[in-house]
């Protein structure tokens, strides 16, 4: 496995400064934003698609520092009920796929998206319970009329260009857990897999190692984020885990995102890494830092120091008792 970083973290640096810092930290890979929620600070897909010279310079800057690109990321909602929002997300996704093909990058990371409750909606609607009965009808309509048709078309586009999409299972979107991820893959095609991020699973009460086993059986883990979540036991006992309070209101929330090791200990993360290895994953573990209690540099450096000793670099090939 390789240790990497989602470079949106370093938006205050130039491209060259960011790469120097990452390389000096002993990392192997970079995940680079191309638009959507992470923005395109270090990578403008349209410019790079249009210019072979710029693409070569872009890749040279990364490779001469001994780094590789683990993924291009464009987290957004391409099936948003607002047509302008959906089209912008869709165009960014398609351009990211085209650029990934040109750069020889296998993975594009994004969200599944979420439509509204009908063609007249203005906002996306995330359905979380089957009753009142219209909720079940909305969910059926979303999947049959919007989600599956869109991603079936994108699956063919991805296949045509030799790229795959790693969907980040995230509450608020139609793919938010193991079951919905496997449903999308089964319905839309095998170019669609998962960007496995334990932080969104912890607070929903899911077991990341069990999720890894199930997803690995379907050969669907394409990319991995390393981010942690701390659960506040008293706030959760009183209010549950569905929490609309701002992330900055740390004392009042049921949970907050943390740097790896500050939500769950070394044993949990050892089991996650080992579970990934058992499932056949040997790609990047890409650090994502959204810890409101730590500065960018501190959170990043603590994550690197925590994860480096846990990574499994090479499996024993010859076992004498086998």
pLDDT tens digit sequence for 153-199: 999 999 999 999 999 999 999 999 999 999 999 999 999 999 999 99
Place 314 in a pLDDT band, splitting at 50, 70 and 90: low
Confidence check: pLDDT of 322 > 80: no
DSSP classification of residue 9: G
Confidence check: pLDDT of 26 > 80: yes
CB proximity list for 251: less than 8 A, separation 6 or greater: none
Confidence check: pLDDT of 1 > 90: yes
Distances (CA, A) of 261 to 226, 228, 267, 269: 10, 7, 10, 8
Output the pLDDT for position 238: 96
Question: Is residue 30 helix, strand or coil?
Answer: strand
Instruction: Encode burial over 122-144: b for 16+ CB neighbours within 10 A, e otherwise.
Output: eebeebeeeeeeeeeebbebbbe
How far apart are alpha carbons 40 and 231 in whole angstroms?
32
Output the pLDDT for position 223: 98
The pLDDT > 90 percentage for the chain reads 95
- Report pTM: 0.96
The radius of gyration of the chain's CA atoms, rounded to the nearest angstrom, is 20
How far apart are alpha carbons 283 and 17 in whole angstroms?
25
DSSP classification of residue 240: -
Mean pLDDT of 291-318: 88
Determine contact, residues 30/7, Cβ cutoff 8 Å: yes
The pLDDT > 70 percentage for the chain reads 97
Q: How far apart are the first and last CA of the chain?
A: 24
Domains of the chain (ranges, CATH numbers): 2-310 (3.20.20.150)
* Two structure tokens written together for 11: 């938006």
Determine contact, residues 33/45, Cβ cutoff 8 Å: no
Confidence check: pLDDT of 315 > 90: no
Q: Phi and psi for 104 in degrees, rounded to 5?
A: 75, 30
Place 316 in a pLDDT band, splitting at 50, 70 and 90: low
* Two structure tokens written together for 35: 């638009």
CA dihedral over 193, 199, 205, 208, signed as positive or negative: positive
CA dihedral over 238, 240, 245, 250, signed as positive or negative: positive
Beta-ladder partners of 3: 285
Q: CB 52: neighbour CB atoms within 10 A?
A: 10
| Mean pLDDT score of the chain | 96
Mean pLDDT of 211-220: 98
How far apart are alpha carbons 107 and 114 in whole angstroms?
21
Return the higher-pLDDT residue of 320 and 227: 227
DSSP classification of residue 251: T
Q: Hey, what long-range contacts does 119-122 have (CB within 8 A, 24 or more apart)? A: 119/81, 121/81, 122/81, 122/82
Output the pLDDT for position 39: 84
Confidence check: pLDDT of 75 > 90: yes
How far apart are alpha carbons 6 and 187 in whole angstroms?
29
């Amino acid at each position: 496995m390789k240790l990497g970083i989602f470079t949106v973290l370093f938006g205050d640096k130039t491209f060259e400064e960011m790469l120097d810092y990452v390389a000096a930290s002993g990392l192997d890979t970079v995940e680079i934003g191309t638009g959507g929620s992470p923005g395109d600070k270090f990578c403008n897909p349209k410019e790079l698609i249009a210019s072979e010279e710029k693409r070569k310079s872009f890749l040279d800057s990364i490779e001469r520092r001994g780094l590789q690109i683990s993924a291009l990321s464009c987290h957004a909602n391409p099936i948003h009920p607002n047509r302008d929002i959906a089209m912008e997300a869709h165009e960014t996704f398609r351009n990211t796929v085209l650029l990934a093909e040109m750069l020889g990058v296998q993975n594009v990371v994004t969200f599944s998206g979420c439509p509204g409750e009908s063609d007249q909606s203005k906002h996306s609607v995330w359905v979380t319970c089957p009753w009142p009965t219209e909720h079940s009808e909305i969910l059926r309509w979303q999947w049959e009329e919007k989600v599956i048709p869109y991603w079936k078309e994108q699956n063919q586009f991805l296949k045509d260009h030799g790229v795959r999409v790693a969907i980040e299972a995230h509450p608020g979107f139609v793919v938010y857990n193991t079951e919905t991820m496997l449903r999308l893959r089964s319905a839309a095609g095998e170019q669609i897999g998962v960007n496995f991020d334990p932080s969104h699973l912890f607070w929903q009460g899911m077991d990341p190692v069990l999720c890894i086993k199930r997803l690995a059986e379907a050969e669907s883990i394409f990319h991995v984020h390393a981010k942690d979540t701390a659960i506040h036991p008293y706030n959760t006992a009183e209010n549950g885990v569905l929490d609309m309070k701002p992330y900055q209101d740390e004392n009042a929330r049921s949970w907050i995102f943390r740097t790896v090791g500050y939500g769950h200990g070394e044993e949990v993360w050892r089991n996650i890494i080992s579970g990934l290895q058992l499932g056949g994953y040997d790609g990047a573990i890409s650090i994502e830092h959204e810890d409101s209690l730590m500065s960018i540099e501190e959170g990043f450096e603590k994550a690197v120091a925590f994860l480096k000793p846990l990574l499994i670099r090479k499996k024993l090939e010859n076992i004498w008792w086998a």
